[in-house]
Amino acid sequence: MIGTENSVENERKKKAKEIIEKFFRQLTQGCGRENCTNSNCASNPNFQRVSINQAAALAIQLAQKKATLCESMESNSKNMEVSDDNDDVVTSKSCSTTNLRASSASSSKDFVQSLEDALKVVSSGNQQTSNSINFINEEKIFSLIQKCKDNFKNLKKDKMETDDKEEDHKELIKSYEPLFDLIKKVFTDYNCVAESFKFERDKINMSTTSPCIPPFNIDFNSVRRTFSILMSINGLYQEIEEVFNQSIYPLCVSIQFQLKKPKVEEEEVNKILHALLVVNELPLLENPGYMDKFIKAFYSTWIDLSPEACTKIVKLWSTWSAEELRPFLYRVQQYLTLEIVTKNLDLPDDDDDEYDDEENESANKKAIYKNEGLIGAINYLRIIYYSSIYGGRLDCDDQIKKERELEELENLERTESNREENEMFDGSSEISYLPDPIEKILNIRTIDCRESKIPSSEFINETVNQFIDVRNDYVEYTKQMQNQELIQQGHKTKTKKTYFSFLSNPFCVTLTKKNLALFYDNKIKMMRERRYNIMMSLLEGRMPTPYFKIRLPRQNLLNEALSLIELQEQENPSILRKQLFIEFENEQGIDQGGISKEFFQLVIDELLNKGYTFFKYDDKSKYYWFTPCTIETQQEFKLVGILFGIAIYNNVLLDVQFPPVFFRKLMGKIGVLEDLMFSHPDLHQSLISLLEFEGSDEEFEETFMQTFQISVSDRTTDSLVSFNLKENGDQIPVTKSNRKEFVDLYADFILNKGIEDSFRAFKKGFMKLTYNSPLSRWFTPEELESLLCGTKVLDWKSLEKATNYDSGFEQDTPYIKNFWRVFEEFTDEEKKLFLKFTTGTDRCPHGGLAELKLTIARNGPDSDKLPTAHTCFNVLLLPEYSSKEKLKEKLLKAIQYSRGFGLS
């Protein structure tokens, strides 16, 4: 009887093996019929090629499901071969199956191992019907574990007690084989996982943590308890780990194959998402030992999820707390770090002008930009990010709707303006920087979120950012944007092949890297304008004007600058897109960046402090803001906006202090009461007090005695000007019942309506230089502030550590040590003057003072000469003075009295 049973079992295994091999040949070679209609056949014109491991895993899945096998495969035993190219893709050349199994190639070994490991699963799985799919839940696992424990106890009873621990462990493993088999059966088939851990109908709304929403029906708390029970089985931790490792790898491969199909039914996608969400709870994903095994396969599956599928998970996870999402975030960050560190890559040199794309195609590009595990992990991180945004504190729907309407009107106005100006930027190749598809589906933008569940800084992986090749990344990003635009226009066949780009996921890129990418974007536009200008000048027989050159006196600088900008904006607006080149009358100096910095420093100083009414300073907040009582014209505000746009376009920092709402409004938001906290703190506190007053109606009116009319100070006449917040506002008293309306109207007037014409003109000018820039796609309002104004925190120690030395000076030179001792004795104001003297501005660049790359060079022996500086190159020329006291005296004199290119 035993022999007969073994014979039957062997025969069943043999048949299962033959079926799998037929499916494998069908997936790799095809059935040989032209235009085969079987979606799982390589002869189908729509079939996508798969790797050897994908084919092996999928063959097992198809055998389990009793999928359709092409007729020719039933009788045909064509030979096959596995190619060993870099992509590990199967081809249909002739070679025997035995040769395949005996191949020393790693891909063939993987297939053989997958095949042999899965035979047990398939042999039993083939006996299942579609109505009896295996599944797992907490009760089933608990019950099975109890049975396995009883089996082990019975085995121990039948045998005498021994001290052979190895034999005991073997018996323990044998006792738990039913559990191992169930895990393999379920976790090798996403259909089985999709039937697992479902809520019972009467318990679906009982979960207080990790809630579940349609289309999902997963009891996540039960999933976690089950995995915890499995991982805590005494003496079998490693065996359980290995069972999951062997099972989940083919599961992930089969999911990848399904997602790569041209069309996947929504029901099938939901099953796949169910399976991924269950596996996502597996504690084993935190184990670095499996990083190159199933963990990489798991993250790779997230590459091919459609935006719609990603959005379903975003909606689910957005209902979870930050404490529930953070473990996922930390786990994927750990994977990303280890995936980079273990490759022993060289850091890219973003400053190297000699860039050989073919040479850089090697290690870094393959390890990062073609690494499916890393790319999938970034997409996984993206889903967590948008879950944090969508589940955070969003602006109200009415506000968002109003902002979208205003944005559409501005876009129409800008399009019409550009048409009237006859293609404002003739030499530029326009690229539409489209938003993330998830944002489009959810109808939100990241700036709509006031407070995310997880701070955005936690999504940045510094290790990964060190290895981002910004130039390569920028090129791939622009290709992706062009492809998206072509697809939207119905020209999918014209799209170009692209690779992964971190800039498509700006939330995980540091401000320094994004600023460098913006610098490349601006430089490319400048070069295009320059080439176009040279070409047109040759055709028209005139002198080329490759730069936006401004020559002006130092006196009345702002008026002169705005007049020149206005002239160019009316006659030849495209010249604004060229590289800025400043010359001061009666001064020598070639502008290689330093003169432009000084120009903007002087212009901003005059704009804010010489009696103009563009902006008003608030002593409490230390910010400038627009005033409703201005005598400046809309055209002048537009020119000031162009001036600010030119600064950011030429990578120049400005010495301005605007509240956060200023930058939010530049990016399309509307100011609300909350924004007054920073721009007008006293007013904000008064309005909050009015809202929180708890007395009676009579006490309220006696206390505040306020109508719907407000007064604003006029800087030109030092008097108060009254404005009605609504029609006949001076006759409408503010009461407890209408105070919310009054507060909203007051805040709206100060931040929006009262300055509407001025701000709209300013923004229109600013957008002349930035409207077709990736500015709004890559940067948040907080980052835009840093781009325009620099970093507020000044770490002077980092400046000292990052400074280079030349012409005889070194870091350990006694004279240099004395220099830094003198510098430490300076006040903060004197240190800012030093910064301005050596770099042309006292603003700190993005990434901190270390990014300045200051150089101190010896400028001769002791003398009475003052120190000088090349502000274009951040170089300080310092004579080697005879004493520390003389060094301090000369340095202070130089930084306090320098202006123009006589001293600096």
The catalytic residue positions are: 872
User: How far is Cα 793 from Cα 409, in angstroms, rounded to an integer?
Assistant: 38
Question: Is residue 3 within a helix (H) or strand (E), and if so which, with residue range?
Answer: helix 2-28
Which amino acid belongs to residue 96? S
Rounded-to-10 torsion of CA 435, 437, 440, 441: -170
Give the three-class secondary structure for 371.
Answer: coil
Distance CA 731, CA 724 (A): 10
Between the CA of residue 365 and those of 368, 499, 686, 690, what are the distances in Å?
Answer: 5, 10, 57, 60
Amino acid at 289: G
Three-state SS for 783? helix
For 81, the token pair is 């071969």
Q: Helices 594-609 and 828-839, interaxial angle, to 10°?
A: 130
**Helix 634-649 × helix 781-789 angle, to 10°:** 80
Instruction: Provide DSSP, 79-90.
Output: --EE--STT-BE
Please check whether residue 758 is in contact with residue 630, taking contact to mean a CB–CB distance below 8 angstroms.
yes
The sign of the dihedral angle between the CA atoms of 326, 331, 335, 338 is positive
- Distances from the Cα of 104 to the Cαs of 325, 329, 557, in angstroms? 43, 39, 77
The continuous run of DSSP H or E covering 517 comes out as helix 511-540
Q: Are 532 and 427 in contact (CB under 8 A)?
A: yes
How far from 434 is each of 95, 479, 501, 771, CA to CA, in Å? 49, 12, 14, 12
Q: What angle do CA 643, 764, 407 make, to 5 degrees?
A: 145
DSSP assignments along 130-155, one per residue: TTS-----HHHHHHHHHHHHHHHHHH
Whole-angstrom CA distances from 419 to 364, 424, 526, 744 are 44, 8, 21, 38
Do residues 671 and 747 touch, judged by C-beta distance below 8 A? yes
Contact by Cβ (8 Å): 561, 643: yes
| Amino acid residing at 782 | E
3-state secondary structure of 553: coil
Are the beta carbons of 589 and 673 closer than 8 angstroms?
A: no
What the block records as the tokens of 852 is 């300045």
Is there a cis peptide before residue 845, judged by omega within 30 degrees of 0? no
Q: What whole-number distance in Å separates Cα of residue 761 and Cα of residue 406?
A: 14
Both tokens of 796, joined, read 């002077």
CA 568 from chain centre, in angstroms, equals 37
In the numeric block, the tokens 């205003």 are attached to: 406
Token couple for 758: 């001025």
Residue-by-residue DSSP string for 310-342: HHHHHHHHTTS-HHHHHHHHHHHHHHHHHHHHT
Apex 113 CA angle, 110 and 118, nearest 5: 125
- DSSP code, position 555: T
Cis peptide before 215 (omega within 30 of 0): yes
Query: Could you tell me the CA-to-CA distances from 851 to 329, 516, 791 in Å, in that order?
Result: 29, 12, 11
Cβ–Cβ under 8 Å, residues 742 and 708 = yes
